[in-house]
Structure 1
């Protein structure tokens, strides 16, 4: 029995805080292998998948130029990446770039629509236009060695360039050249976690900040009030932003240490074995008050749950929705609604048996 992460999939994100994740350069150093993505800031539901290890440093970018962002991981100076959005069993390519101690940055340096890597050494940036090892195509000095660096398409010309953060001040440059900043803005507070993305789909990146669970998004590189203010996720979530569906708008993804999969798997295993451990009464299956009985008593021949896939979560309520598959059936046979009670326990709060599954009810 297994739980499989459902498929999901920027350019223009950077979290400028010390441990935040970024498609534009900083790795996601938050702990967790569970990712929950949403295609709008208004939605609290999203697609859930697992990726990598709990401690993986994850980078996000559009490596193949298809408009959808996917993941890469780094170990030492070895980068592995995938063009598939969501859970994967293998990477498309693996290559070496830079030195083990280099800071990596990610961006579309040549405006061809595809992101690639660069390395930072002090205030020097060695940028490569292809997803492969080799010499840098562009070397540029910008800012100071102790600046926090951001990457984004500040002027909407299709190519990413650099910005540096000093406290709550931002110095943005619209080309990959040394020289003074083209734009300067003061935004948020010095201890904010900063996000970079295209919030309104106009082709230009701008800033956002996160304080606890509250996110403030601004649609221009100016001082002023945020156009969008909302609470999202939990305070201990890692927050990543990207264009997960290729619509040109960057939206959120949270990263969590994923006890979700283990707990749902334990519940499904108990159901398959005919045990009611860690299961509360199922309220919407007529005459049956345990999930395993819904599987093994409602159909002839009995079904055995084999996997729970396609899980999504309402981030505000914590409720998780999963499709349930049974042995010998290609399509899901039902949908479970579960809520976490603890690290290894879930409450089954609803269950729906699909009417068009391949079989005959008793």
Structure 2
């Protein structure tokens, strides 16, 4: 499959009024192919959404995006002018934002917002844009689509607003959709419907999807590959089934241990947890960022750890599996955290 998005050494830096430099994203390397769904998971603040915004040229100022490679369909996205970004947003790359209530303008009807997108990017007239909007709303499963065009966002339920956002993302037939927590705060039934809709649309159009979520159950259902982020870095990536059934990074292990499993977690049993706190996004990376919270930490972890290939398409930012294979002592059992 041909690559849509290719990232190498993506970094985002944000200067503060106090003179500090924040680095919420540090050296991300990812790729997404046509017809593929890549899930990005990790706790809040790990840089998932900022990474997605960098692909849309929407990182808020004074944030700065740097990368050794940042390309879409072979076109470099580094240092694009705003006029060039506008040619990509909508027609080529679309985004479903976390909260449709704040992403949709409450002062305008659904119809005016949808038709504006298509008239701007497709160059079609008002009547044709309206007809296309009705078709798109029907396609995403919204009943009485023509009547919905006259309504305002507050008149729709959360599930319907999310479907409107999906319809808007599809309105210009993009090659890539970035779905940032598309099922947040939705009930289980609506969540399943929206995920099924995205999967169906991908099957029909071959669109690539980047799915940002906290829900590993959604990842297992939707994603072909998964990237686990921690403190602004990708710590593990690979085939979804392989990562979720045999996690190689201690952070991924901790995330999975914190999830109750039907038939596997006894009533009243304590769920797993990850001790400690996330390191601040400041300064240079001089050690494994997970070292202070890792049950396997050893002195060798005090040096920066690169993301290295493991098996097949998997990659890992951890020395433990490599040390175990080499027969180095001390990594087989959990031990004292080295600080």
- Superposed pair shares fold, TM > 0.5: no
Larger Rg: 1
Q: TM-score, normalised by structure 1?
A: 0.29
Larger helix percent: 2
TM norm structure 2: 0.31
Answer 1 or 2: which has greater strand percent.
1
